[in-house]
Amino acid sequence: MTDATPLSPAMETVWREDLSPFLAEREARRKQGVNELVFGGIGGVTAGIVALVVLSLVFLPQFGIFALIGLSVLGFVLGGRKLGVLQKEVKTGLLNRLAEASAMRYALKPHQPARFNVFREHGLIPSSQRDSFEDHFIGERHGSVFELYEAKLEQRRRSDKRTYYATVFRGLLIRIEFPRTIEGVTVIARDKGLFNGLESWGRKAFGSHKLERVGLVDPNFEEIFEVYSTDQVMSRYLLTPTFMERLCALEETVKGKNVRAAFDERRGGGELLIAVETGNLFEPGSLFKPLDDEERVRTLLQEIDLVTGMLDLMVRPPELGENVLADKA
């Protein structure tokens, strides 16, 4: 146990009756996996050293160096296979249980990344040639159904006759059935400072949608975001003072950066799409430490709480004194 914030009484029960036994049952496999990884690495390095000496004497030292690197990597890969399987099992088991305790459903990978092409169509994420997705959550907050997943997007680049992939986005993509009526498309992009004049010419269309720049009365919001919409009246109806305040606070809530969003009229009612760069979340921690550790669960739960807190921030009804009159205007 640590001196960190304790689990809630309800989560303490889940830990004691479900999570702790689940982890304890796999502790022997963890120890075995760590041993195999260590011995596999030692064996690979030893074989590599022998190959280095022999090849350096018979051929060229370069061949020996390649053999040393290759055999060392191979030893760690082969030795770490069981640990890799266990890590995925532990992650899935923990997140399934924690999501259920938070009234959500979890899957290691989304069956189909929700609205991914629409995120790209509206300019919320950059173009990429290699994409991967994981950690899919589905649930409901304040009557609004949502789903979110992690995305890692990479662009293929060339430099000095070498092709490589650079990560251009890693974070959360979120789809919320927004509780307000939505017509058309409204895109909330990041402010580009001196480039806004040029950007206004380049942003006349997102996909098949013709958008125009929307002027707002909130200077704090306009310092961070630029808004484009197919419907000026609808965009002002959606961008209430409360919503603008909450969107500005969103980055701090999820400890992320570069939040951007779009309202879309799809499915008749409407959706709010949000992209936020957060890095890699929802990992179960090191398997070189004992599994039956409450801190491992506490870290995952804090990340889940960040997500649910963000969703509450965006869809819960305004509270007394929170620009309620302005929202009704």
Give the chain's length.
329
Residue 325 pLDDT exceeds 90:
no
Higher per-residue confidence, 274 vs 266: 274
Separation of first and last alpha carbons in the chain:
51
225 phi, psi to nearest 5 deg: -125, 155
pLDDT (mean) for 292-319:
83
Whole-number Å distance between alpha carbons of 29 and 83: 8
Whole-number Å distance between alpha carbons of 93 and 64: 43
Q: What was the pLDDT predicted at 143?
A: 85
Q: What was the pLDDT predicted at 23?
A: 94
Q: What was the pLDDT predicted at 205?
A: 56
pLDDT (mean) for 111-134:
92
Which residue in 134, 130, 127 sits closest to 164, CA to CA?
130
Q: What was the pLDDT predicted at 19?
A: 92
Q: Does 309 map to a domain? A: no
Q: What was the pLDDT predicted at 32?
A: 93
Q: Does 67 map to a domain? A: no
Residue 246 pLDDT exceeds 60:
yes
pLDDT (mean) for 167-194:
85
Tens of pLDDT, residues 28-66: 999 999 999 999 989 989 988 988 888 888 777 777 888
Higher per-residue confidence, 35 vs 246: 35
Residue 202 pLDDT exceeds 70:
no
Q: Does 69 map to a domain? A: no
Q: What was the pLDDT predicted at 263?
A: 92
Higher per-residue confidence, 74 vs 200: 74
Residue 91 pLDDT exceeds 80:
yes
Q: Name the residue range of residue 268's domain.
A: 110-281
Task: Judge contact between 189 and 126, C-beta under 8 A.
Answer: no
Q: Strands, E, within the chain: which ranges?
A: 104-107, 130-141, 144-159, 162-177, 185-190, 205-206, 209-210, 212-214, 225-229, 257-264, 271-277
Residue 319 pLDDT exceeds 70:
no
Least confident of 227-241, 282-296, 311-325: 311-325
Residue 1 pLDDT exceeds 60:
no
Q: What was the pLDDT predicted at 195?
A: 41
Residue 329 pLDDT exceeds 60:
no
Task: Judge contact between 26 and 298, C-beta under 8 A.
Answer: no
**Alpha-carbon dihedral 5, 135, 80, 54, rounded to 10 degrees:** -120
Q: What was the pLDDT predicted at 204?
A: 52
Please count the other Cβ atoms lying within 10 Å of the Cβ belonging to residue 295: 12
pLDDT (mean) for 149-158:
94
| Mean of per-residue pLDDT scores for the chain | 84
Whole-number Å distance between alpha carbons of 13 and 10: 5
Residue 283 pLDDT exceeds 80:
yes
Higher per-residue confidence, 304 vs 206: 304
Q: What was the pLDDT predicted at 328?
A: 39
Task: Judge contact between 260 and 275, C-beta under 8 A.
Answer: yes
Name the domain count of the chain. Answer: 1
Residue 239 pLDDT exceeds 80:
yes
Residue 89 pLDDT exceeds 90:
yes
Residue 203 pLDDT exceeds 70:
no
Q: Does 34 map to a domain? A: no
Q: Does 177 map to a domain? A: yes
**Is 103 exposed, middle or buried (CB count within 10 Å of its CB: 0-12, 13-18, 19+)?**
exposed
Which residue in 254, 307, 300 sits closest to 277, CA to CA?
254
Q: What was the pLDDT predicted at 201?
A: 43
Q: Which residues contact 6 (CB under 8 A, 6 or more apart)?
A: 12
Q: Does 165 map to a domain? A: yes
Q: Does 93 map to a domain? A: no
Q: Does 17 map to a domain? A: no
Task: Judge contact between 160 and 230, C-beta under 8 A.
Answer: no
Which residue in 243, 269, 262, 215 sits closest to 326, CA to CA?
243
